[in-house]
């Protein structure tokens, strides 16, 4: 009886110790002041320029599948150019870095996570993160914006995306992204 009382006491003391140290660890406001302005809606359009094959390829396929054989389990990794226009030579504002997997047996539907990494323009230094389902069978696909850093801290919103063209001879393609993002 006494032993069990002692054990309980030790557990309670340990719990108190852990919870008080957890509270201290959560107090970030002194070390990192954060003042949020007004949340605003920003809308812009960007184009991903992709090279499917060759020395300058911006997409690689791991495990099964390839660009023309998007079977269940195909895993792709992208580092596409992010540009203001669909034409070659359009002003580049960053890179679209993504990991995607075809996670459907019946449709070429990607489960993907993508970062728009801005290295120029208004959002230089910031990253916008998109995650969702991208069913390539659809002309227009909609994916959620799940966050970001820099200008896109606390970001939420959605993108609407459509493939503008795929040139299977030159192995290049351009994909349009209309971004609607709420951020501070
Ligand atoms: C790859 O990119 C380099 C540098 O931009 C360019 O000179 C070369 O022609 C490209 N190669 C191919 C196969 O497109
Ligand atoms: C893609 O995969 C298919 C089926 O395995 C194959 O026939 C084709 O040659 C591959 N294409 C490329 C570009 O590797
Ligand atoms: C973008 O930001 C980086 C890092 O802050 C800076 O070095 C670079 O000069 C900027 N580029 C432009 C085009 O503003
Ligand atoms: C993006 O916006 C433009 C201009 O409003 C529109 O013409 C285009 O169809 C939109 N694209 C997508 C994928 O929603």
- Residue 71 pLDDT: 85
Res. 80: pLDDT tops 80: yes
Distance from C-alpha of 181 to C-alpha of 184, rounded to nearest angstrom: 10
Cβ < 6 A, ligand 3 pocket: 119-120, 124-125
Buried b (16+ CB within 10 A) or exposed e, 69-103: ebeeebbbebebbbbeebeeebeebbbbbbbbbbe
Please say whether the beta carbons of 173 and 166 come within 8 A: yes
CA of 68 to the centre of ligand 3 (A): 37
Residue nearest to atom 10 of ligand 4 (CA): 178
The CATH architecture assigned to 40-183 reads Beta Barrel (2.40)
51 CA: nearest ligand 1 atom: 14
Burial of 107 (0-12, 13-18, 19+ CB in 10 A): middle
**pLDDT tens-digit series, residues 124-168:** 999 999 999 999 999 999 999 999 999 999 999 999 999 999 988
**What are the boundaries of each domain within the chain?**
1-32, 40-183
The predicted pLDDT at position 1 comes to 46
């Amino acid at each position: 009886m006494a032993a069990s009382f002692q054990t309980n006491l030790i557990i309670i003391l340990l719990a108190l110790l852990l919870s008080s140290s957890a509270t201290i660890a959560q107090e970030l406001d002194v070390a990192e002041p954060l003042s949020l302005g007004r949340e605003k809606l920003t809308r812009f359009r960007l184009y991903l320029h992709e090279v499917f094959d060759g020395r300058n390829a911006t997409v690689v396929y791991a495990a099964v599948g390839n660009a023309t054989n998007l079977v269940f389990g195909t895993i792709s990794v992208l580092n596409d150019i992010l540009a203001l226009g669909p034409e070659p030579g359009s002003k580049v504002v960053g890179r679209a870095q993504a990991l995607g997997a075809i996670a459907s047996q019946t449709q070429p539907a990607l489960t993907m996570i993508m970062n728009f990494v801005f290295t120029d323009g208004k959002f230089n230094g910031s990253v916008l993160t998109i995650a969702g389902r991208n069913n390539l069978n659809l002309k227009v696909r909609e994916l959620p914006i799940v966050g970001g850093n820099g200008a896109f801290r606390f970001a939420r919103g959605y993108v609407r995306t459509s493939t503008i063209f795929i040139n299977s001879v030159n192995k290049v393609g351009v994909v349009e992204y209309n971004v609607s993002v709420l951020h501070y």
